[in-house]
Amino acid sequence: MSVLLWRACEISASVRNLKVQMIKAGMSAWTEADYTRRPVLITAKNTNALICLACLCLLISACGGAASRDLMTARLSEDEKHRLYAAALAASESPVDSEIFKRVCRQIEIFDAAGKPNEGYMQFVSAHVEWATKAQTEQFRSQINTPEKARQYIDQRLSG
């Protein structure tokens, strides 16, 4: 029993000591309410979380359109890429020079950021020739049989 009493006195002395140190440092002790001081809510945990959040925001803003474009491209199947390419070809009388064609080609990653064919362009075009000769593509081609319908198809698919 005396050990418990001795331990209780030791804890009480530690608490008093801590209270005195807090008052000397200008901080109110938890038993005294000081409503004139503004509470400090920033802790080491909060600071680390805030720094991580700020870095994440910077990363997202730095990636910006590239991250969302990569996500969009990752969601496109090969068939969808070929459909977009076919629609881009049908959207204009001179598709290679049109801005919509370049936009589609950048989106399906066969043009670079400057609007020029990249290393994957020829491979994609070869695969597109095979895709276009399949019987299943006939129905799709009838859906985009005018430049207006082709542009509308592209806008619907790339606006998301």
Give the domain ranges of the chain.
1-30, 76-158
Q: Which amino acid is at 56?
A: L
**Predicted local distance difference test score (pLDDT) of residue 62:** 56
Task: Write down the pLDDT at residue 67.
Answer: 45
Q: What's residue 85's pLDDT?
A: 93
Per residue in 119-155, pLDDT (tens digit) is 999 999 999 999 999 988 899 999 999 999 999 999 9
pLDDT confidence band for 46 (50 / 70 / 90): low
Residues in the chain: 160
Structure tokens that stand for 93 in this block: 């009388």
pLDDT value at residue 150: 93
In tens, the pLDDT along 63-116 reads: 555 444 444 545 789 999 999 999 999 998 887 778 999 999 999 999 998 889
pLDDT reading at 160 higher than 80: no
* pTM strictly above 0.75: no
Please give the average per-residue pLDDT across 51-72, as a whole number: 53
Model confidence at 18, pLDDT cuts 50, 70, 90, reads low
Q: What is the pLDDT of residue 78?
A: 93
The per-residue b/e assignment along 122-151, b for 16 or more CB within 10 angstroms, e otherwise, is eebeeebeebeeeeeeeebeeebeebeebb
What tens digit of pLDDT does each residue of 5-14 get? 555 556 555 5
Q: Which long-range contacts (CB under 8 A, 24 or more apart) does 138-144 make?
A: 140/83, 140/86, 141/86, 141/90, 144/86, 144/87, 144/90
